[in-house]
Structure 1
Amino acid sequence: MTTNYIDTFIAVAPDCRVVIAETPPTTAKPTVAALQFELIAEHPYEMTSDEVLFAVHATRNNVNDDDLDSERERFFAKDQACLRASPLGKRYGWGTHHDENGRVALVGIGTADYDRLLGDDHLTHKAAMRSSRA
């Protein structure tokens, strides 16, 4: 099972409270949001959703380099939440654009790029998952 999207724009959740995208705070133990933000912001259109999610898992669980292949198999043997469930789109105001190769970049709400992608008829449009039930 894959979490990758192709030619897709994932807008922020309908109940996201911010109108301008925010950088997730840094803490002594980095949060999932901070790690995802760092990876995608520093490497736009270089990684797929699967690669981002596994890299965050490996970092948070201190997976040794020698164990990466077997841990990746174990990780994806179970269904994984996609970036629609990420705090980036639910809480911090970051949409994600997934290109024709499934590579992802962040796009902040309140920017011209966000509005352009939101109106692009050539993309599949989804929204990040709500934080609360509607």
Structure 2
Amino acid sequence: MKDMNYYETFIAVAEDCSVKVAEFPKTKNGAKTVPVLQYEMITNHPYQYTQEDVMFEVFAQRNDIPVEQRSLERTKFFSKGQPCLRTSSLGKRYGWGIHHNSQGKVAIYAVESEEYKDFLNDSSLKHVKAMRSSRQ
């Protein structure tokens, strides 16, 4: 299986992100959305999970995959192409930058924070932007 994680990388907010101050993702009809689950997992456990861990765990929670089946389901999940955190609404819509450390573990930083600015100016990191929401 191909490693889909980023290492020593900072994902800046998308060019067309509409917020200047990071916002907390909201539930929809009382249910936790993908951005809410990603936000909670990353902020409650900074630098504990990789991008792959976050993407699969959110998928597993939303699809009620039992814990004992997760290893097999994870292999199936990554056997076909999956979007990365560059496509997450955290960076596209809500104003959160995503830092991947040397082990590929992730944490998020508000666009208005000093830490965010520090990551943007860190020449030792690879810099990419979250995907744009529009096609322009």
After superposition, give the CA deviation of every residue in 1:58-97 in whole Å (9 maximum; x if it has no partner).
Answer: 0000001121111001100011100000000000000000
- Deviation, 1:115, is 0.5
Normalised by the length of structure 2, the TM-score is: 0.96
Partner of 1:84: 86
After superposition, give the CA deviation of every residue in 1:8-60 in whole Å (9 maximum; x if it has no partner).
Answer: 00000000000010010124221100000000000000000000000000000
What are the equivalent positions in structure 2 for 1:91-130 lying under 5 Å apart? 91-130=93-132
In structure 1, the gaps of 5 or more residues are none
Point out 4+ residue stretches in structure 1 off by more than 4 angstroms.
none
Partner of 2:32: 30
Partner of 2:14: 13
Normalised by the length of structure 1, the TM-score is: 0.98
Counterpart Cα distance in 1 of 2:4 and 2:25: 22
Partner of 2:59: 57
Counterpart Cα distance in 1 of 2:98 and 2:4: 13
Counterpart Cα distance in 2 of 1:120 and 1:73: 34
Counterpart Cα distance in 2 of 1:45 and 1:96: 11
Which residue identity lines up with residue 49 of structure 2 in the other structure?
A: M
Aligned residue pairs total 134
Identity of aligned residues (%): 49
Q: Per the alignment, in what secondary structure is the counterpart of residue 67 of structure 1?
A: helix
Counterpart Cα distance in 2 of 1:15 and 1:33: 18
Counterpart Cα distance in 1 of 2:83 and 2:4: 7
In structure 2, the gaps of 5 or more residues are none
- Contact 1:3–1:83 (Cα < 8 Å) also in 2: no
Counterpart Cα distance in 2 of 1:99 and 1:76: 21
